[in-house]
Amino acid sequence: MKRVYNFNAGPCTLPLPVLEQVKEEFLDYQGKGMSIVEMSHRSKEYEDIQFGAASMISQLYDLPDNYKVLFLGGGATMQFSMIPLNLLPEGRSCDFTVTGSWSKKALADTRKVGKVNVVFDGEKDNYMALPDPASLKLDPQAAYLHITSNETIGGVEWPNFPESGKVPIICDMSSDFASRRLSLERFGMIYAGAQKNAGPAGVTIVILRDDLLERCPETLMAYLSYKIHAAKDSMYNTPPVFAVYMLKLVMEWLLKKGGLAAAEKMAAERSGLVYGAIEKNSAFYRCPVAENCRSKMNVVFRLPTEELENKFVAEAAAGSMIGLKGHRSVGGCRASIYNAMPIAGVKALADLMNDFAAKSG
């Protein structure tokens, strides 16, 4: 078997030792004579997995006791509705930063529920730049401030976050969760679809400060209520057991590697190699994103023509480097280089970029 270097944005490459462990214990989990996907979610084995996964996330982020880790379904997209339904009380408004495709989607759903005050909209820069956090005119009465820490499609990532006083920041960390050192105490809530740095698709991580649970309306349908999920330790209904099991293994893998500090170091190294190849061949490649907010997870770049971009992507695929085509909404190229991407994969990509520029430039 030859594994490819997978630069897809999510689902994406996962740590090989985790995949091997999953394969190894699939048919007979811990000598129980059945696989994890056949077991009751009320079994001791599964409870250990789910509580273990939550406690590893707490360990990774050194979370204080007043933060709750939930595992929910519906993807990060479901959070676009659950957040305002739970946390935006009638008569109040929330502040929103619009920095690309994902925050636009979150904004559209929030507007269906309540009032939104857009404090930043990156449209004039084609969503390729972020504001100085200190320049934002935040409403001190806002129910919350919503931020997308990393725009997976546009490739912009907030290097640091605004000071919002008593207003909780709610952050979509889908594509940079577990990639850098960060105190989550700066946030009222963060959420992330697992399928980038945390595991397979099917589970969404929600971490929220418990005082926010008091806002959840009693009239809300059960599945939509954070309060119900928190009271039932994310077991109100059947959780996505296989996704949670794999997430636990991925978190275990990351902790063994050195946790967030190690992830941050690896991300700097990987992204440095790709941005370095762009800089080195700057007459050929161009990164459209402002330098101070270039994503360390999703590196976007353009070649002189679309034809050359297609050729580059095809040549990469022939060399076992797949998933380098930019998102269909923006075109160009994108290398998603999450925690599980081996450095060798990024080196191979940088070499190809150098060679391709030399022969086509």
Nearer to ligand PMP, 43 or 77 (CB): 77
Decide if 172 is catalytic. yes
- Say whether residue 76 binds ligand PMP (CB under 6 A): yes
Q: Which of 172, 176, 248, 253 is catalytic?
A: 172
Q: Please choose, from the candidates 30, 315, 78, the residue with its C-alpha nearest in 3D space to the C-alpha of residue 203.
A: 78
333: β partners? 301, 325
CB 38 within 8 A of CB 32: no
- Say whether residue 336 binds ligand PMP (CB under 6 A): no
The 3-class secondary structure across 229-296, one letter per residue, is HHHCCCCCCCCCHHHHHHHHHHHHHHHHHCHHHHHHHHHHHHHHHHHHHHHHCCCCCECCCCHHHECC
Cβ 191 to ligand PMP shortest distance, Å: 9
- Say whether residue 102 binds ligand PMP (CB under 6 A): yes
Q: What angle do CA 334, 154, 81 make, to 5 degrees?
A: 125
The site map against ligand PMP for 7-46 (x = CB under 6 A) is ---x------------------------------------
Q: Please choose, from the candidates 13, 4, 68, 64, the residue with its C-alpha nearest in 3D space to the C-alpha of residue 336.
A: 13
What is the number of the residue whose Cβ is closest to ligand PMP?
Answer: 75
Nearer to ligand PMP, 97 or 152 (CB): 152
Distance set, CA 15 to CA 91, 196, 250, 291 (Å): 46, 11, 7, 29
Distance set, CA 73 to CA 39, 147, 205, 219, 256 (Å): 19, 21, 9, 20, 27
Nearer to ligand PMP, 83 or 216 (CB): 83
Q: Is 163 helix (H, G, I), strand (E, B) or coil?
A: coil
Q: Is 180 helix (H, G, I), strand (E, B) or coil?
A: coil
Q: Please choose, from the candidates 240, 244, 40, the residue with its C-alpha nearest in 3D space to the C-alpha of residue 32.
A: 40
The site map against ligand PMP for 209-248 (x = CB under 6 A) is ----------------------------------------
Decide if 253 is catalytic. no
Applying CB under 6 A, the span of 34-42, 162-170, 172-180, 282-290 interacting with ligand PMP comes to 172-180
- Say whether residue 73 binds ligand PMP (CB under 6 A): no
Q: Please choose, from the candidates 106, 341, 104, 65, the residue with its C-alpha nearest in 3D space to the C-alpha of residue 210.
A: 65
Q: Which of 13, 110, 164, 175 binds ligand PMP (CB under 6 A)?
A: 175
Site for ligand PMP in 182-211 (CB under 6 A): 193
Q: Which of 68, 196, 227, 248 is catalytic?
A: 196
Q: Which of 8, 21, 43, 77 binds ligand PMP (CB under 6 A)?
A: 77
Q: Which residues are designated catalytic?
A: 102, 172, 196
> Residues interacting with ligand PMP, by CB under 6 A?
10, 75-77, 102, 148, 152, 172, 174-175, 193
